[in-house]
Amino acid sequence: MTRKIGFLVFPQFQILDLTGPLAAFEMPSRNVRPKPYRLQVVSEFGGLVKSSSGLAVATERIGTSSFDTVIAVGGLGTADAARSLPVKAFVRKAAKTCRRVTSVCSGTFILAAAGLLNGLRVTTHWRAATLLQKRYPDIHVECDRIFVKQGSIWTAAGVTAGIDLALALIEEDLGPEVAKAAARDLVVYYRRPGGQSQFSALLDLEATSERVQNALSYARAHLGKVRSVEQLAKAAGLSPRQFGRLFLAETGQTPAKAIEKLRAEMAKARIEDSDEPIETIARTVGFSDPERMRRAFVRTYGHPPQTLRRIARGLRYE
């Protein structure tokens, strides 16, 4: 059975949003017979479409083919594509006739503009997550996910996350061994779980004021000993109320939520890289008990600690 995969592009699209997943879908055709995928790039008007890097690709006009799976890529031209009536009509039709409709990076905006995502959990590139949530309040945006599956709708974060998405789709279609072989050919990990964070919590917490920076420096150095917002407020030289307001304004998170993410990130590295007991790790990074850490991991990464350890061990020995 050959499945037809359609890649939707537009002027000023991001070239890696296209070529990353396209290369992933190409890999199984080297080893599987009959060829499992037929790949086609489409656009509103067809013909050559120039990416934001200046490289142009040949496309077919939308509406001339039917597909098993449609992938809307992202890029600088996403806003114009999301306003296009023919593009939105194409995506809506795909949602009714295709087995899956997916997006990479800011391509999520195209699916949202077509009305496909209301009430669903989705992701996009972390830089665009706040705008997506503001523009489409009926969507639940998970800005720290690599990809999210909701029924037949899949959304992925920026650029290389498109490869993670494609490998997950290949696994769903052809099984884990074919997906693993594709990952090896691409020289990428098989597999980063969809719940893995897009970026470091430490990077996400960079603040502009010296007071909040002092509090973050204190938290990083004494993460296992921080027990209250009052401790951080004292390091910042502010009252707890003043500190909470300033921290939220500068980082977009409450102090408690930020510390939870920092603890989870520190614990995750130790869980994946060592055989240290999970209970010991929980205490060391400041969680009061393993159950609190488990809930924090599910919120942050979509998986409990034990699952992430099993995945890491599998990657280590493949």
Q: pLDDT tens digits for 111-120?
A: 999 999 999 9
- Quote the mean pLDDT of the chain: 87
Sorting pLDDT into bands at 50, 70 and 90, what band is 178?
very high
Residue 201 has pLDDT above 70, yes or no: no
Paired with 173 in beta bridges are: none
Global pTM?
0.66
Sign of CA dihedral 28, 30, 35, 37: positive
Q: Which of 153, 25, 136 is nearest to 96 (CA)?
A: 153
Go through 74-106 and write b for each residue having 16 or more CB atoms within 10 A of its CB, e for each that does not: bbebbeebbebeebbebbebbbeebebbbbbbb
Angle between helices 278-285 and 305-317 (to 10 degrees): 110
In Å, how far are 218, 221, 227, 248 from 243, measured between CA atoms?
A: 14, 19, 16, 8
| Strand bridging mode 153-156 / 147-150 | antiparallel
Is 105 among the catalytic positions? yes
Q: Catalytic pick from 105, 205, 259, 271? A: 105
Paired with 7 in beta bridges are: 41, 71
Paired with 104 in beta bridges are: 156
Measured between alpha carbons, how far is 60 from 53 in angstroms, rounded to an integer?
20
Measured between alpha carbons, how far is 263 from 50 in angstroms, rounded to an integer?
44
| Strand bridging mode 100-104 / 121-122 | unpaired
Q: Using one digit for the tens of pLDDT, what is the confidence trace for 76-99?
A: 999 999 999 999 999 999 999 999
Would you say how long the chain is, in residues?
A: 318
Q: Which of 286, 296, 294, 288 is nearest to 226 (CA)?
A: 286
Residue 239 has pLDDT above 50, yes or no: yes
Residue owning tokens 């959990």: 121
Q: Which of 192, 195, 189, 149 is nearest to 172 (CA)?
A: 149
CB 136 within 8 A of CB 115: no
Return the amino acid letter for 289.
D
DSSP codes joined into one string, 239-269: -HHHHHHHHHHHHSS-HHHHHHHHHHHHHHH
Whether residue 193 is preceded by a cis peptide bond, meaning omega within 30 degrees of 0, is no
Q: Which domains does the chain have, with CATH numbers?
A: 3-186 (3.40.50.880), 201-317 (1.10.10.60)
CB 202 within 8 A of CB 220: yes
The encoded tokens of residue 66 equal: 């039917």
Element (DSSP H or E) covering residue 283:
helix 278-285
More confident residue, 3 or 262: 3
Measured between alpha carbons, how far is 161 from 20 in angstroms, rounded to an integer?
9
Q: Which of 201, 198, 216, 199 is nearest to 264 (CA)?
A: 201
| Strand bridging mode 56-61 / 47-50 | antiparallel
The encoded tokens of residue 221 equal: 């150095």
Sorting pLDDT into bands at 50, 70 and 90, what band is 227?
confident
Q: Using one digit for the tens of pLDDT, what is the confidence trace for 57-69?
A: 999 999 877 899 9
The encoded tokens of residue 194 equal: 């969809």
Residue 131 has pLDDT above 50, yes or no: yes
**Other beta carbons less than 10 A from residue 155's beta carbon:** 33
